[in-house]
Amino acid sequence: MTIPFGRRSSVSVSGGTGGGYGQVQAQQSAVSFGDWGYQAYVSADPRGHEFIQAQYKARRALLSAGVDVNNGQTTVNLESQGALSLIGGDLYASNTVNDSFAVVDSGGLGHVRVLQENRNVGSTNSKGRLLVPDLRAFDINRLAIDPTDISQDATADVTAREVRPQNRSGVLVKFRVKMSHGALLRLVNEAGAVVPMGSTATLRATGVTVPVGYDGEAYIHDLDLHNEVSVQGLDGRRCTVLFQYRSIPGEIPTIGPLPCREQKR
């Protein structure tokens, strides 16, 4: 008879009349990283058999330690199970790969959480990579990065992808993350009044046009050291803003107020 306790634990009891034996076994599996597991076994066999083992599932290995007493002989077991995978020019240590695996690349950004089927499976290393060792072969696996871990001055084209790896093989899943080099501009006219909301601002270098919001603010990305922005008001008048930009890692700087010089017709 087996009785489950929760999602990972169970107790089994068995016996027989032929030799008058019986046994009890309790176990808890270590499924996710950071889980503790155990196995305990006691037999009513005349020779006697007891066994207890503890397990810990680390990110790079499954660690086990146990004691086995059988017919008066005691054995101590220490075991480590894991795998080494080579992909994308890097070597990764992980738990045993029984099916397929993937390496998630967050574009070089470290400490970005990776999700597998909406479940957190770890964070990228200093190179922006993380090995996910337990994908399903020949089936769709959904991998994603947490957009909240991407710094304000970076953008990602997509944050989730679906992959279908082959059996006993790995795939490199790249998420294109690039620095936005953006800033919030505060635009004013030559008299010092804020540029009216609804005006448009165009970065000359890229030709990208963005709206001007409250308080004359406009967010523009892909800036260089020296920049020129053309502003068109609601009345059709145009003016030009010249300014310098310096990237601040992890932040979107606010620049201004910047005077907009009216273009002479």
For residue 243, give the CATH number of its domain. Answer: 2.60.40.2070
Residues 106 and 173 in one domain: yes
Residue 3 pLDDT greater than 80, yes or no = yes
Residues 35 and 115 in one domain: no
Residue 76 pLDDT greater than 90, yes or no = yes
Residues 73 and 93 in one domain: no
Residue 265 pLDDT greater than 60, yes or no = no
Question: How many domains in the chain?
Answer: 3
Final residue belonging to a domain, choices 147, 179, 211: 179
The pLDDT assigned to 242 comes to: 93
Containing domain of residue 174, as a range? 83-179
Final residue belonging to a domain, choices 151, 179, 207: 179
The pLDDT assigned to 18 comes to: 64
Residue 44 pLDDT greater than 80, yes or no = no
Amino acid identity of 180? Answer: S
- For residue 211, whether the previous peptide bond is cis, meaning omega lies within 30 degrees of 0, is no
Amino acid identity of 144? Answer: A
Final residue belonging to a domain, choices 179, 212, 244: 179
Structure tokens at 206: 């890229």
pTM for the complete prediction?
Answer: 0.63
Which of 67-71, 155-159, 261-265 has the least mean pLDDT?
261-265
DSSP string, the chain: -EEEETTTEEEEEEE-SSS--EEEEEEE---STT-EEEEEEEE--TT-EEEEEEEEE-SS-EEEEEEEEETTEEEEEEEEE-EEEEETTEEEEES--SSEEEEEE-TT-SS-EEEETTEEEEE--TTSEEEEEEEPTTS-EEEEE-GGGS-TTEEES-SEEEE-PPTT-EEEEE--EEE---EEEEEE-TTSPBPPTT-EEEETTT--EEE--GGGEEEE-S--SEEEEEEE-TTS-EEEEEEE----TT---EEEEEE-EEPP-
103-121 residue pLDDT tens? 999 988 889 999 999 989 8
Q: Are 134 and 117 in contact (CB under 8 A)?
A: no
Residues 101 and 15 in one domain: no
Residues 95 and 161 in one domain: yes
Residues 106 and 26 in one domain: no
Q: At which residue do the structure tokens 């790896």 appear?
A: 165
The C-alpha atoms of residue 113 and residue 118 are separated, in whole angstroms, by: 11
The rounded percent of the chain whose pLDDT value lies above 90 is 46
Residues 124 and 163 in one domain: yes
- HSE-CB of 212 using CA atoms within 13 angstroms: 24
- HSE-CB of 70 using CA atoms within 13 angstroms: 8
Distance from CA of residue 246 to its chain's centroid?
A: 29
What 120-126 contacts at long range (C-beta under 8 Å, 24+ apart), as own/partner pairs, is 120/146, 121/33, 122/33, 122/59, 123/149
The pLDDT assigned to 31 comes to: 83
Residues 213 and 254 in one domain: yes
